[in-house]
Amino acid sequence: MKRYIYTINFILILGLLSGCSNDLLVLEPTDQSSVETFWTSEENATSALTGCYESMLGPYYGEGSWLLKLEDMTPNSFEIDDGSGASSIARGSNNPTLPIVGTRYSICYEGIGRANTFLANIDEVPMSDELKDRYKAEARFLRAFFYHNLVEYFGGVPLILDPPDNNTQGELPRNTKEEVLDVIYSDLDAAAAVLPVSYSNTDLGRATRGAALALKARAALYNQDWSQAISAAQAVIDLGTYDLFPDYRGVFLLENEHNEEVIFDVQYQFPDITNNYHELFQQGNVLKSLPDAYLMTDGEPSDTSPLYDPDNPYENRDPRLSQTLITIGSMFNGELVTGDELFADLTGFAYKKYTYFVDDDVRTAPSPGQSEINPILIRYAEVLLTLAEAENELNGPTAIAYGAINAVRARASVGMPEVTPGLGKEEFRETVQLERRVELAGEGLYYQDMIRWRTAEVVMNEDGLDKDGNVIEQRSFNPQRDYLWPIPDREVLLNPNLEQNPGY
């Protein structure tokens, strides 16, 4: 659905965003749709749902890419110019005026408003009940997605389930996080009950049953609802639709889009909708903490493994290191990395994920800003690690927990040893946390992992280093304040009932 789903009608989107009437606009032009005449055809309903999906493009495009900017707020990497405010957050200077704080909040409510508008009007459209029900399920999935991305950063927010109307919604107080979570779970349950397991080629990229279940598993995991996380993750597995792609590096290459591991991604297609991921991810901003985190191939950390060579510190490591990161002395795009390259001269490390290049073969890069790689928002490996973590938290390190984490480590191109049997609950917890960090590096998930594990106050109070141990960036995290982001200042100024988070 790449070309199909993001061919947006400007007049339609303008109509979707309208929350009030204007008495001056009394004419009904024959070449445009009005709010009153729009919901009269299946074609228009399809365009309206397309508008709901379109709200996902903003957070995953260009310098505002959530995948990389969220990584820059962790020990994995740093934002070079602080254009979005990611480095300000990492340095302990989060505040209500940062661009990334404002756009996170506003884009999510834009998507929620579009989904609410769609759901309020779709029943008026003459179309088959089956397709109408599926469209409703897709809209509810998207609404849940946007609310999930609000509550995990800001806590409780105003819960709005009707089309945008500033007269009734402009001064709403915050609902509790629990109240919003109830709606998220309800929307995802309803969506999972209706959505298909898969689509034909023309509709690839739409929300599926697996996407709804996997998002519910993530939301439940983030909120320590272990039983729901286990149930939802197991339901994804039981679909029998997904599997680990044998080549870990290949999961993120353009030629393997929509492989069997991808559960939900954002659609791009040259030349209509493109991004700059190829340049953005190899800008050389990875910090030493990330490559140092990878275990040796014997499954031991570098400080205890006999395989560790201080003169060649990144040899004999978990193969995911070389499939995720560019390091000096490794091959990239058919050439030996010397450290003089732009992507290696800052810290000595850069990401390979979401670039077009592989190691030994020479490939032609896309023109700047012309990448069409789809950012993957949910994939099967995350579901397995969700099951492993939630199972351990609820029941201890059972055979189910071991089986899930060992499946991820046994990927054909990885082949890491199985986790040692007989671990205690705390030991297994630490093992899963490390596994999530290295398996999902560069995918924007480690920030919320640090937050929910309450480890941010430790790991984000350590300096960011380059390959030689030089301080690149000083980090700071205030546990009394920084586990939540501030509500954007504009929202608080406009709404006297919108209470700010503590410490801001």
Distance of CA 261 to the CA centre of its chain: 15
Whether 397 has a pLDDT exceeding 50, the answer reads yes
Q: Which of 284, 270, 266, 274 is nearest to 369 (CA)?
A: 274
Mean pLDDT of 450-454: 98
pTM of the model: 0.93
Report the pLDDT value the prediction gives residue 345, as an integer from 0 to 100: 85
Q: Which of 147-156, 234-243, 340-349, 479-488 shows the lowest mean pLDDT across its residues?
A: 340-349
Report the pLDDT value the prediction gives residue 35, as an integer from 0 to 100: 66
Which one is predicted more confidently, 15 or 401? 401
pLDDT above 90: percentage of residues in the chain? 86
Q: Which of 74, 184, 60 is nearest to 440 (CA)?
A: 74
Tens digits of residue pLDDT in 21-47: 333 223 344 445 566 689 999 999 999
Cα gap 178→155, rounded to integer Å: 9
3-class SS of residue 318: coil
Report the pLDDT value the prediction gives residue 344, as an integer from 0 to 100: 85
β-bridge partners, 351? 325
| Dihedral over Cα of 320, 324, 328, 329: its sign | positive
CATH 3.40.980.10, domain 2-21+31-195+484-494, yes or no: no
Determine whether 238 is exposed, middle or buried from the number of CB atoms within 10 Å of its CB (0-12, 13-18, 19+).
Answer: exposed
Whether 418 has a pLDDT exceeding 80, the answer reads yes
Q: Where are the beta strands (DSSP E) in 136-267?
A: 262-265
| Whole-number Cα distances in Å, 48 to 45, 192, 202 | 5, 21, 17
Whether 494 has a pLDDT exceeding 50, the answer reads yes
Angle (CA) 82 88 89, round 5°:
125
Whether 137 has a pLDDT exceeding 60, the answer reads yes
Report the pLDDT value the prediction gives residue 58, as an integer from 0 to 100: 78
Pairing of strands 262-265, 376-379: antiparallel
pLDDT-based confidence at residue 66 (cuts at 50, 70, 90)? confident
Instruction: List the domain boundaries for the chain.
Output: 2-21+31-195+484-494
Report the pLDDT value the prediction gives residue 154, as an integer from 0 to 100: 98
Whether 202 has a pLDDT exceeding 90, the answer reads no
Q: Which amino acid belongs to residue 500?
A: Q
pLDDT-based confidence at residue 3 (cuts at 50, 70, 90)? very low
Q: What torsion do the CA atoms of 81, 84, 86, 88 make, to the nearest 10 degrees?
A: 70
3-class SS of residue 498: coil
pLDDT above 70: percentage of residues in the chain? 92
